Chains A and B, each alone.
Chain A
Amino acid sequence: MYAYVGYLIAALLGLLVISGITFKFNDRRRLLFGTSVTIFAAILIISLVSILYGVDVYLFGLLHIYQFSLLFVSLFSFAFILVEILGYGSDNFELFNMFVGIAAAGVFLVVMAYSILTIFIAIELVSISTIMMIMTGGKRSVESATKLFILSSISISVFAFAMVLMLPYDGTLSLSLLSMNSSIGGDYIILLSMLMFIAALSIDASLFPFNLWVADVYQGAQDYVTPMLSGINKKVAFVALIYILFIVFASYSHISSVILEVVAVATMFFGNLVAMVQSNVKRMFAYSSISQAGYILIGITTFSAYGLEASVFQIFAHVFMTIGAFAIVMWMESKGIRSVDDYKGMEHRNFWAFSSLTLIMLSMAGIPPLMGFFGKFLLFSSAISSGLLALAFIGIINSFISIYYYGKLISSMLRDTDKGFFYLGRNVRIVVYLCLIAIIAFGVYPHPLLSVISKSVSSLIH
């Protein structure tokens, strides 16, 4: 009977794409917006209910709908609602809505994938629609879109090559433990394949050596696309990484753990140290989101249920924080408030913008009782519980470094100015409200979310 849930979600996704495409030729924006948000809300509710009932179905041999995937379906459908609200005021809303529909289909397919092939196709779907979305932003966005296009094509070709390397050993390409792993234990081809999977997904997840594109693309993209880039696209790559490393290459965790440790340390230091010297606020947040990717990786490196819970919690936290932060920052950017000095006196000009941005930044820096603190607490303690004391210490030192640039911006916002009131758009305010509620509620009382996450994680790791 639970299979119907799967069909229902699949049907809703189809509806989303079709309505996005057909309604593009309709200029009634409110209808477009209403349809999309309703569908996302329906998916959100269905997935939440299904988590509670413990749904576990396979669909067409390509999709696996169970608690872990439903958890991310609910997260991303909420995130897509936020993105839709942000994009509602824009000139190109019809186009944007269409690409959001296609990207959402891709995102949900990645999350529900039961085959590496599904992940491959769905990630491609997400990248292409995101690139098209950025393209619609006019001249200044074309450079970003091109950059993203080149990088995603590199990523996708590396991914394809990794799949090809794996194919002789695992003919099905399904997301199950690599078959025959006992006989091919030390085969370098398999290790090469795993390494290439990590590399391919690192590009999307903005992990260390492959993250130089992040700041440029975030800066060039429109104000409603950047939150989506950092809130959704990046997290999808993490989900794919979790699937591939935790399921397919589970018996190689001792090797991938070492690789990811190095990558995590490098990513955290890179993001934080580069963010320290940025004067443009948007680039600062872009680099800080890189460092957050490093934190998320800490939980994955431990290869324990506890570590995975921590990573998933931090993914949740960072989705809310980054969408909220970029919503405000991008609005400011579009009004010509760009550098740290331009933020001077924001406390006088718009107290609400100041206090919400401050709360979000404090949460990013890991100050309790906000959600970011609890995520970091889980991550570092998972590292300690797996005996990775040094990794936890480096993480903590990094979150100490990050207070420098957040403090610089807060300090600048508190300075006196003679400029007048500053208006924050209504859709930005709604989005930031929703994000702040999540950040504060799950920070003060993380228990409900944590119990749902641990239930879902235990459905992934049996």
Chain B
Amino acid sequence: MILIPIMMLVLLAAVVGEYIIPERHSRALGAIASGIVLLLSLYLILAFNSMTAVQTTFSVSYISSFGIDLSFVLSNISVILVLLASIVSFAAVIGGNPGGERRRASNALIMLFELAAIGFFTSGNLFILFIFWDVGVVSAFFMINYLGSGGARSSAKNYLIYSIFASALLLFGIMMIYFYTPVHSFNLSTIEASGASIPIWVQETIFALLLIAFFVKMPVFPLHSWMSDAYSDASTQGSMVLSGILSKFGAYGVFILFLMLPISHTYAKYILIIAIVSALYAAFNAMVQSDLKRMAAYTSMIESSLILVGIAAYNSFGSEGAVYGMLAYGLAASLMFLSVGSIEFTFGSREIAAIKGAVKSASASVYSFLIALFGSTGVPITAGFIADLFIFIGSYQSYGFVGLIPIASLVMMGGYLYYAVDRSFLSTFKHSHPVRIEYWHWDMGYAVLVAAIIVFGILPSILIGLR
């Protein structure tokens, strides 16, 4: 598939271009580059079903002494995730940081991150996958550290320590996979074919190492403590891509882990337990937050846990639901962070109590926030509904009523959020005064994300029908 490297080259050129052009053209350049990528990924979705196996693969020799190819494979999972990455990045670039400060650096980092995400989701080779993983991690570090606000330095440090720890474990696991597969290969397809011949103790070790690495990124309960600070202190664009794309790195990783190692399915039920604990934990945490952005962060953690429930179900409904959930929740989470960032900019505060009656002066942001909320809680006609439905059908099939416990977290989150929004944003008798006016470019970001959430909610057949 030659289109994947073309997308990457377009993005790479744009990253370099951001350092050459003047600041005022930054958004235009970013919009053009990520727009091209978005169009290409839409084309990929539409053309995917008519492609043959040869057409979905791009491979050139890279380091021949290790048998490492620069190979990109488009599967029915990765094509959806590429679409997610391109939509979120496009929305982030045109929506922009509310204040518009340090625009060039921010857009360059977004596009570098998009490049890493596309490479990560499509790479057919664990070595290449790791390279893109780390590029993504480091560019997200700069989004938090350089562009963030508040306690950005310490949360960036926290984030970096957790992430590099995850990378270290991932690298170690990948190298173990390479040396313990009988044919010594990094190729995903080869490993999938010969995964059963890896000794059991090695499989268990690799499984543990990689699972910890991916859980850090998702993030899931015991390994999440970097998350709330990082998401809330990053720039608006930064938290959009962090919650929308970076957390899906982990979910996709768990997915391919289940494909690679046959031993995974014996541990699926423990993963379900972790997912349930994580979802409930995040829901309780979301309920006590008075800070909008932190609340959004815990909301996205609930969603990560739900994706994990779908993966742990280990059947076709669960997997479909998990993949659809990555898309739906990614879109919802990034829309939520964009609107929260804009509301914060407009009112100069992100305390829920301080934003009374925001609907009057910042209506676009508030309505977008509501749609993001609908998307996260799985209200019909949003994409989140389809994802929830599939995930819970799958987990019911595998685990009976135990598999439905995570619904409680959705109910708790939804109940609290609707109550909070009703009392603050939609309040009709108290009005906080906006500090600044709304900007028009936010609306474009909202439009893209809202359209995506609704279209994929009404017409799931576009994506579900993929082979």
Contacts and interface: CB of A to CB of B under 8 A. Distances in A.
Given A368-B131, A450-B65, A400 B165 contact: yes
A451 interface: yes
A329 interface: no
A381 B146 CA distance: 34
A297 to B, nearest CB: 18
Interface stretch (A154-162, A256-264, A402-410, A422-430): A402-410
Contact of A380 (B138, B145, B175): B175
A15 interface: no
Contact of A362 (B64, B138, B171, B176): B138
B423 interface: no
What DSSP secondary structure best describes chain B's contact surface? helix
Contacts of A368: 130-131, 134-135
A453 to B, nearest CB: 10
A393 B160 CA distance: 19
8 contacts: A367-B138, A369-B135, A396-B172, A407-B161, A411-B157, A446-B63, A447-B64, A447-B65
B145 A414 contact: yes
Nearest to B137: A367
Contacts of A369: 131, 135
A296 interface: no
Interface of A: 347, 362, 365, 367-369, 373, 377, 380-381, 384-385, 389, 392-393, 396-397, 399-400, 403-404, 407-408, 410-411, 414-415, 445-447, 450-451, 454
A377 B171 contact: yes
Range class of the B interface residue count: 20 to 34
Given A396-B168, A400-B164, A403-B161, A411 B64 contact: no
Nearest to A398: B168
B62 interface: yes
A381 B135 contact: no
B269 interface: no
Contact of B65 (A400, A408, A415, A454): A454
Nearest to A403: B164
A371 to B, nearest CB: 13
Contact of B161 (A404, A445, A446, A451): A404
Contacts of A392: 172, 175
Interface string B135-175: 10010011001100000010011001100110111011001
A306 B217 CA distance: 33
Contacts of A415: 153
Contact of A384 (B65, B134, B161, B175): B175
Contacts of B168: 396-397, 399-400
B138 A407 contact: no
B270 interface: no
Contacts of B165: 400
A304 to B, nearest CB: 13
A380 B171 contact: yes
A415 B145 CA distance: 9
A-B CB proximity, top 4 nearest? A368-B131, A400-B168, A403-B164, A396-B168
